[in-house]
């Protein structure tokens, strides 16, 4: 896929995490300031998915910039993509 | 025959050092560092759902606050908003793209500071 | 306060006002295993640039010091060096403005070091070439054998002219943290030029350039550290151009960018009220 579109997803997922994880953390850590309802299970799954995308794409960005060579970079991109997918299915859908 | 030239690329340490530049370069490095902290925590957190070492969790929360706040600036500027239109430079030239977006950076950092204080207070109260 | 009359002598004088120490990073690949610093005492007069200081060293103290320069006036882009912690043009840097008693001079980083202060700019120029820094047109015939000029309004010209002041000095490339670790990254200069040509109303090559720039080592490797704009000696502000480029590419990928044809031709003749120019005296043979 085009690098620009992948990067656009990075931005969109960033915004989604900001909202969802903001709520999630508030519910868990700011209990003393009031009551924060935690995320529904669907929202939680969405959060897991976008967080995985954002995190792994960010990791790939860093790895692309340490001169590993195009071949290794392609392999890493696929590895992160498939790894992320398996991770999501295992912990997000099956769990 | 002339010998080969000497490689002189700064390397990964150039993300942090390598010259006197503006605050944006430090922000670039911190964004990267906090991002890495968060992604490794995320994976560990999902695998290991139980209680986590608490002080380490606080660091992740602080990293998240910075990453989110600086991220807002990056989303705006990297889409080309707020960096200014091309203009004829007059000298001494002050880079418009930086001067125009720096206030946004400091405002977001002020928010970061507030959230960080809240997080630490909440943490100290055992939240 | 009475205005002080400025005497010509105060501005232009060879009176020595200060002495500074030049610490010059030296390296000769034929002799040295490692670079080292050589020190020179340099007398300074008003208006003296770092380049003047280096020329003084070469003429009066040590003829072996190597550096590159040509125009001495910030036009040719060849005297870029790492001076007191920043990439700067030696000919545009006033010694007195630096305000230090020791001036440390090293070759520009992120490019191979050929000798002393001389970097190998070849890879940098190759990146510039990669983004097709010229007008791309469908009417190749008109381009090769013009009957007139492509028209452009002053506003249209102003929209890219800031980026056209680039002198390819590679200071931005030496400053960029991404370029510091990723040799494949196109770098601020080339990316800014990709934008400069793509928004020129006479150009029709945006799609061709997107293929080069929308790449894992293209514009998305820039994370807006701004170091490039901080050091650019010509006010090009490459960071600005790159962010605008990113926005433009996303717009294009989402189908929101209007397609436009390159500007048309204003025939040189006849123009109402303008006398015809004399025939060309120099004719290029094909
Ligand atoms: S953009 Fe500025 S710093 Fe970079 S090569 Fe051009 S003139 Fe030099
Ligand atoms: S703004 Fe982009 S190109 Fe310029 S120094 Fe920063 S990362 Fe490099
Ligand atoms: S000598 Fe030409 S730019 Fe300095």
pLDDT digits (tens, 9 = 90+) for C14-53: 789 999 999 999 999 999 999 999 999 999 999 999 999 9
Full set of structural domains in chain C with CATH: 7-119 (3.10.20.30), 122-253 (1.10.1060.10)
Q: Residue C163 has what pLDDT?
A: 97
Residue B127 in this model has a pLDDT that exceeds 60:
no
A-contacting chains (≥3 CB pairs under 8 Å): B, C
- Answer yes or no: is pLDDT of C13 > 90: no
Give the lowest-confidence range in A72-81, C73-82, C103-112, C135-144: C135-144
Backbone angles phi, psi at B80, to 5 degrees: 95, 10
C211-233 pLDDT, tens digit per residue, is 999 999 999 999 999 999 999 99
Give per-residue pLDDT as tens, C120-155: 999 999 999 999 999 999 998 988 888 888 999 999
Place of tokens 């005497």: C7
Tell me, what's the pLDDT at A32? 53
Looking at residue C101, what is its pLDDT? 97
- By residue range, what is the domain housing residue A83? 3-94
**Rounded Cα distance, C212 and A3, in Å:** 11
* Total-model pTM: 0.91
Spatial separation of the C-alpha atoms in residues C136 and C142, rounded to whole Å: 12
Q: What pLDDT is attached to residue C4?
A: 57
Instruction: Give the mean pLDDT of B14-31.
Output: 92
CA dihedral A41, A45, A46, A51 (to 10 degrees): 130
Best of C224, C232, C237, C240 for a ligand 2 pocket test (most atoms within 8 Å of beta carbon): C224
Minimal Cβ distance to A4: which of C178, C183, C214: C214
Kindly tell me if the per-residue pLDDT of A59 is higher than 80.
yes
Residue-averaged pLDDT of chain C: 92
Distance from the Cα of B30 to chain C's closest Cα (Å) equals: 11
Contacts of B48 (CB under 8 A, 6+ apart): none
Buried b (16+ CB within 10 A) or exposed e, C146-157: eeeebeeeeeee
pLDDT of A1: 83
For the Cβ of C55 lying below 6 angstroms from any atom of ligand 3, the answer is: no
- pLDDT exceeds cutoff 50 at A2: yes
pLDDT digits (tens, 9 = 90+) for B44-100: 888 876 666 667 788 998 999 999 999 999 999 999 999 999 999 988 899 999 999
Q: What is the pLDDT of residue B52?
A: 60
**Minimum CA–CA partner of A90 in chain B:** B47
Q: Is residue B10 part of a domain?
A: no
Residue at B8 is within a domain: no
Give C57-98 pLDDT, tens digit per residue. Answer: 999 999 999 999 999 999 999 999 999 999 999 999 999 999
Q: Which residue has the higher pLDDT, A91 or A77?
A: A77
pLDDT value at position C6? 56
**Domain tally, chain B:** 1
Q: Which ligand is nearest to the CA of C172?
A: 1
Using CA atoms, how far apart are residues A50 and A13, in angstroms rounded to an integer?
Answer: 5
For residue C1, the model assigns a pLDDT of 42
Q: Which of A62, C254, C93, A26 is nearest to B122 (CA)?
A: A26
For position B45, what pLDDT does the model report?
83
pLDDT in the model for residue C2 = 47
Question: Ligand nearest C192 Cα, by number?
Answer: 1
Instruction: Report the pLDDT value the prediction gives residue A35, as an integer from 0 to 100.
Output: 60
Atom of ligand 3 nearest to the CA of C80: 4
Q: Which domain holds residue B34?
A: 23-47+55-81+95-124
Identify whether B65 is part of a domain.
yes
Total number of domains constituting chain A:
1
Q: Is residue B71 part of a domain?
A: yes
C181 touches chain B (CB under 8 A): yes
> Is the CB of residue C229 below 6 angstroms from any atom belonging to ligand 3?
no
Which pLDDT tens digit goes with each residue over A19-50?
887 777 777 766 555 565 666 788 888 989 99
pLDDT in tens, B101-126: 999 999 999 999 999 998 888 778 76
Mean pLDDT of chain B: 89
Residue B5 located in a structural domain: no
């Amino acid at each position: 896929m085009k690098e620009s579109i992948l990067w656009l997803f990075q931005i969109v997922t960033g915004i989604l995490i900001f909202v969802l994880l903001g709520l999630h953390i508030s519910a868990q850590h700011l209990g003393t300031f009031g009551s924060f309802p935690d995320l529904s299970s669907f929202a939680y799954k969405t959060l897991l998915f976008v967080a995985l995308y954002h995190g792994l794409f960010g990791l790939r960005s860093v790895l692309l910039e340490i001169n590993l060579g195009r071949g290794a970079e392609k392999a890493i991109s696929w590895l992160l993509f498939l790894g992320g997918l398996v991770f999501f299915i295992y912990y997000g859908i099956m769990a | 025959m002339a010998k080969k030239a000497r490689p002189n690329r700064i390397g990964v340490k150039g993300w942090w050092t390598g010259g006197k530049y503006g605050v944006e370069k430090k922000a670039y490095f911190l964004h990267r560092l906090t991002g890495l902290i968060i992604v490794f925590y995320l994976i560990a957190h999902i695998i290991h759902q139980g209680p986590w070492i608490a002080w380490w969790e606080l660091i992740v929360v602080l990293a998240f606050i910075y990453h989110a706040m600086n991220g807002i600036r990056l989303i705006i500027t990297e889409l080309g908003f707020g960096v200014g239109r091309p203009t004829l430079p007059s000298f001494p030239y002050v880079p418009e793209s930086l001067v125009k977006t720096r206030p946004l950076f400091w405002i977001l950092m002020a928010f970061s500071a507030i959230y960080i204080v809240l997080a630490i207070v909440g943490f100290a109260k055992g939240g | 306060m009475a205005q002080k009359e400025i005497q010509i002598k105060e501005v232009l004088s060879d009176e020595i006002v200060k002495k500074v120490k030049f610490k010059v990073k030296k390296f000769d690949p034929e002799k040295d295993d490692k670079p080292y610093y050589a020190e020179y005492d340099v007398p300074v007069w008003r208006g003296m640039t770092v380049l003047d200081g280096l020329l003084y060293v070469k003429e009066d103290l040590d003829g072996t010091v190597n550096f590159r320069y040509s125009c001495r006036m910030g036009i040719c882009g060849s005297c870029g060096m790492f001076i007191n912690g920043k990439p700067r043009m030696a000919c545009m840097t006033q010694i007195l403005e630096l305000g230090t008693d020791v001036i440390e001079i090293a070759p520009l980083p992120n490019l191979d070091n050929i000798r002393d202060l001389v970097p190998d700019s070849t890879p940098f120029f190759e990146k510039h070439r990669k983004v097709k820094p010229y007008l791309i047109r469908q009417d190749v015939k008109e381009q090769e054998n013009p009957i007139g000029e492509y028209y452009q309004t002053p506003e249209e010209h102003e929209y890219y002219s800031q980026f056209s002041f680039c002198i390819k000095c590679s200071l931005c490339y030496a400053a960029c943290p991404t370029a510091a670790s990723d040799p494949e990254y196109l770098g601020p200069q080339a990316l800014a030029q990709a934008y400069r040509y793509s928004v020129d109303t006479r150009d029709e090559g945006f799609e061709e350039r997107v293929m080069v720039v929308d790449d894992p080592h293209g514009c998305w490797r820039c994370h807006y550290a701004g170091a490039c704009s901080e050091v650019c000696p010509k006010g090009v502000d490459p960071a600005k151009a790159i962010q605008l480029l990113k926005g433009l590419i996303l717009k294009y990928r989402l189908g929101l960018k209007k397609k436009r044809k390159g500007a048309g031709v204003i025939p040189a003749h006849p123009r109402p009220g303008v006398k015809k120019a004399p025939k060309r005296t120099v004719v290029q043979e094909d």
